[in-house]
Amino acid sequence: MSVHITTTYDVEAIRADFPILKRRVGGYPLVYLDNAATSQKPRQVIDALVQYYEQFNANVHRGLHILAEEATDAYESARAKVAQFIGAEPTSLVFTRNTTEAINLVAYAWGLVNLKQGDVIVLSEMEHHSNVVPWQLVARLTGARLQYVPFTPEGELDMEALERALQQEPRLVAITHVSNVLGTINPVEEVTRKAHAVGAKVLIDGAQAVPHKPVNVAQIGCDFYAFSGHKMLAPTGIGALYAKPELLEEMPPFMGGGSMIRKVTHEYSTWADVPTKFEAGTPNIGDAVAFGVAVDYLQQIGMEAIHQHEQSLTEEALRLLEAEEDIVIYGPRDARERCGLVSFNFKHVHPHDVAQVLDRRGIAIRAGHHCCQLIMRRLDVTATARASFYLYNTVEEVRAFYKALDDVRKVFGKYGGR
């Protein structure tokens, strides 16, 4: 378990592991505050990729030579590491391309079989499009109905509305663990308990949670949990789905092909054991191996320490932005209720323009709808600006970001008060 690492949190030592952080942009040191979109990669993860391709690249679960054996060991050991990282058994962890593919896997393999005309799927209005659109597609195919739970003006999940939605006895509740726009940490344990009480299955979108705080799926009790590697120091193209073993056993395959079969005849086939049943074709071996190394890296620092570091950055960002009369902040005001990101808008400047002006100082933030058009509609905006932090960001970077907002006022401010 994590001890009190916070006092010894050495952000400079961490930064030294990330080659890209030495980059300069437009003459300024890069200040990378777009971590909710994707994280940067430490030397250890980059090296793991090179090592895999230089020393033991081979296909897995087939071939009787030494390289195939080493590649298979590395791939399965990465699965074990990633599973253990979220408190799961390796057999209940399926490698996918990303969170989106993991949710689609559940929507098609579980949803098409288990949903029928009139069934209710409960989603929140905080969801990323990746936890909305797959359910829309499957609802269209099965005749199921979507019921949305709104969020409160404070940016928290409306628990009373959730209770009302649960009275409709939904088949599934699919909800995000941490909002990628509001930063809100949702009470997923409570949601799972309440959903299970009415017989619903629960899927949690953990894309913004697993990289930033300790997560234990056994403790949450959910049926499905989806997350991406690239937001937690691993390469793009690798993610994971946790599912309860009995569900993986009873679900039909998502995709058919090599690897996922036991026996193929002219008429039909039988399936490999889980989780291989859900990994058709040659998997993304190299990136999976690097995913395992990313998890090692995070664990070495400690997820609780990372979470506290990010919360201190968030607290500073909130403190600075709150004092500005021309800025609106979205999401909970208390940094303790958030993961490390802050969405905001200037009252009179479009977020694209804010991001463009900050880019001139080498400061990378995101502006847009963040794949959350339902949130944008609720906030009555078309887009927000978002600064999102990670383990290697510093309080000086947060202040540099804040200071650069004055450039925005210099370009647009003279016409202010429109």
Partner 1 sequence: MVDDELYREIILEHYHHPRFKGALTDANLTADGMNPLCGDELTLYLKTDGDRIVEARFEGRGCSISQASASMLTEAVRGLTLEEVKHLQERVKAMLTGAPHEPFDEDDDLSALEGVKNYPVRIKCALLAWTTLEEMLEGKGWH
Which residues of the chain form contacts with partner 1 (CB under 8 A)? 349-353, 356, 367-369, 373, 376, 382-383, 407, 410-412, 415, 418
Question: Judging by beta carbons within 10 Å of its beta carbon (0-12, 13-18, 19+), is residue 35 exposed, middle or buried?
Answer: buried
End-to-end CA separation in angstroms for the chain? 54
Token pair 């390289």 in the structure block, residue: 67
d(CA 188, CA 186): 6
CB of 107 to partner 1, least distance (A): 22
Question: Is 98:230 a contact under the CB 8 Å cutoff?
Answer: yes
CB of 240 to partner 1, least distance (A): 28
As a residue count, the chain comes to 418
CB of 367 to partner 1, least distance (A): 8
d(CA 321, CA 252): 50
d(CA 32, CA 364): 5
Nearer to partner 1, 43 or 352 (CB): 352
What is the distance, to the nearest Å, from the Cα of residue 220 to the centroid of all Cα atoms in its chain? 16
- Respond yes or no on whether the N-terminal peptide bond of residue 275 is cis (omega within 30° of 0): yes
Helix ranges (DSSP H) in 62-199: 66-85, 99-105, 112-114, 133-142, 159-166, 188-197
Sign of the torsion formed by the C-alpha atoms of 183, 384, 41 and 105: positive
Nearer to partner 1, 11 or 411 (CB): 411
Nearer to partner 1, 365 or 391 (CB): 365
CB of 180 to partner 1, least distance (A): 15
371 is an active site residue: yes
CB of 412 to partner 1, least distance (A): 7
Q: Enumerate the active-site residues.
A: 371
